[in-house]
A = this chain, B = another copy of it.
């Protein structure tokens, strides 16, 4: 059966403070904010990990996000145009399908899903976004977002106004190059999903999906073998072109084969090689 974890010591993007090496100025800002809220008779609350006064230079995701390949002064210029918004609660929308496109966003903590509603009303999840990943590039061409974007849990993001990103890219060849690369990566990733959806069985899709999450979590220094699924079985099904029931059945089947161990949203990948075998097997 494989052992099942009972307690809540699971890692997710939002449960871990993402800016650990903050500078003293940031700490000061924080205590100031706290003092203010007390003065305003707001209910005293725990220190929120989603500090909005963080800089790109100190963000622990900067290896994944835009600043990679920028030097110190360039990062500072990027920092100037990034807006760190208020956190989003589970279910909040970052934007909706057809809203005018203004910005791309980098996930700082938590996770999001994108989904598309067709005229006939039925929706399909088109993507999941974890910390360090970029959201909103589907709106660049048409100037309107093609999907809606919703937080799957308490999450925070960095907003990057696109016109300013363009001007800055014009000044910084490294940034232009890197943003081309980020978009190219998105294109390559989408084509992999095309292959997955057009030729994989339900079991292969699930195995591929879980391994994908695994490697994305390990990129942000979380465990590649134990994590919480931020999305529902329904979300997974819509994303993979399967029904909820099939997703559920495959999960229990993978568990019976001792490849994974699941309990609700908690999942552990027990045999990565075995999962890979499922994908290549045929």
Q: Mark A179-202, 1 if CB is under 8 A from B, else 0.
A: 111111111101111110111000
- Cβ-defined contact, A118 with B190, below 8 A: no
Residues of B within 8 A of A176 (CB): 166, 169-170, 176
A53 contacts partner chain B, Cβ-Cβ < 8 Å? no
Alpha-carbon distance between A62 and B76 when the two chains are bound, in angstroms:
38
- Cβ-defined contact, B138 with A188, below 8 A: yes
Closest to A116 in B: B195
Residues of B within 8 A of A240 (CB): 198
CB distance from A104 to the nearest CB of B (A): 10
- A 114-128 contacts with B by CB, 8 A: 116, 118-120, 122, 124, 126-127
How many copies of this protein are present in the complex? 2
Q: Please, could you name 23 A-B residue pairs with CB atoms under 8 Å apart, sorted by A?
A: A116-B191, A116-B195, A120-B280, A120-B282, A124-B194, A127-B191, A138-B191, A139-B188, A140-B180, A140-B184, A140-B187, A141-B185, A142-B185, A146-B192, A166-B177, A167-B173, A170-B173, A170-B176, A180-B183, A190-B193, A194-B197, A198-B238, A199-B238
Residues of B within 8 A of A167 (CB): 173
CB distance from A202 to the nearest CB of B (A): 12
A213 contacts partner chain B, Cβ-Cβ < 8 Å? no
Alpha-carbon distance between A108 and B239 when the two chains are bound, in angstroms:
35
CB distance from A143 to the nearest CB of B (A): 9
Given A141-B184, A188-B142, verify A193-B195 contact (CB < 8 Å).
no
A241 contacts partner chain B, Cβ-Cβ < 8 Å? yes
Among A184, A185, A197, the one with the most B-chain Cβ atoms within 10 Å of its Cβ is: A184
Closest to A125 in B: B198
Alpha-carbon distance between A166 and B184 when the two chains are bound, in angstroms:
13
Residues of B within 8 A of A282 (CB): 120, 122
A111 contacts partner chain B, Cβ-Cβ < 8 Å? no
- Cβ-defined contact, B180 with A166, below 8 A: yes
- Cβ-defined contact, A118 with B188, below 8 A: no
